[in-house]
A = this chain, B = another copy of it.
């Protein structure tokens, strides 16, 4: 009741974001575990008490960053799956690779995403979040495959679920090589995909 000495909501939100930004920089630089709360606090230019007002624990901070890292890619994938007219597979992949390529550098989300993957193996809540999200991603690619099939780009008896999984898998396959093993650039990778698509039928 009564006296309500308040700071504007924007101020509170800005403070929170200030902490999140600092945490992201620290986590990117040193990883979740090697980053101490003191690191984040110093990076944010705040005090211990201030940070603990906005986040009740380090774990909450890690979780917040992890979720923000993974969110946002879905927008792109949604576009790929719903574009009119339906995108040819190679073009859809081209866009996806260009998008993720921009996130493979030290300022992109993928170095953090790799850490999230590792973390999710030991944090069931995070694992659930990741599984849900990535299954959603895959579903986008399944839609993409189904529409490509309707457009005659795939054999009539192809399983869109299977093709979608492969298409989706091409993305982390590209990213991992890029981040860990100096993989080829998106254009070269795409050329490889094209060559496979143009391959001669196969079957043993």
- Listed in ascending order, the chain A residues whose CB lies under 8 Å from chain B are 29-34, 88-91, 111, 114-115, 117-122, 127, 130-131, 134-135, 138, 152-155, 158-159, 161-174, 176-177, 179-184, 188-189, 191-204
A159 and B192 form a contact (CB under 8 A): yes
Q: Give the distance in Å from the alpha carbon of A182 to the alpha carbon of B170 in the complex.
A: 16
Q: Give the distance in Å from the alpha carbon of A161 to the alpha carbon of B192 in the complex.
A: 8
B169 and A134 form a contact (CB under 8 A): no
Most chain-B CB neighbours within 10 Å: which of A29, A88, A177? A177
Contact of A153 among B90, B114, B202 (CB under 8 A): B202
Can you report 10 A-B residue pairs in the complex whose CB atoms are below 8 A from each other?
A31-B33, A88-B204, A114-B118, A117-B117, A117-B180, A161-B188, A162-B192, A165-B189, A167-B196, A172-B172
Taking A120-B180, A177-B165, A182-B135 as contacts, is the C-beta distance between A201 and B197 under 8 angstroms? yes
B195 and A197 form a contact (CB under 8 A): no
Residues of B within 8 A of A33 (CB): 31-34
Residues of B within 8 A of A197 (CB): 196-197, 199, 201-202
Identify whether the interface residues of A are mostly helix, strand, loop, or mixed: helix
Taking A159-B188, A173-B171, A199-B89 as contacts, is the C-beta distance between A180 and B131 under 8 angstroms? yes
Residues of B within 8 A of A155 (CB): 195, 198-200
**9 nearest CB pairs, A to B:** A169-B173, A162-B192, A33-B33, A158-B195, A173-B173, A134-B181, A166-B192, A118-B118, A162-B191
Residues of B within 8 A of A177 (CB): 134, 138, 165, 168-169, 172
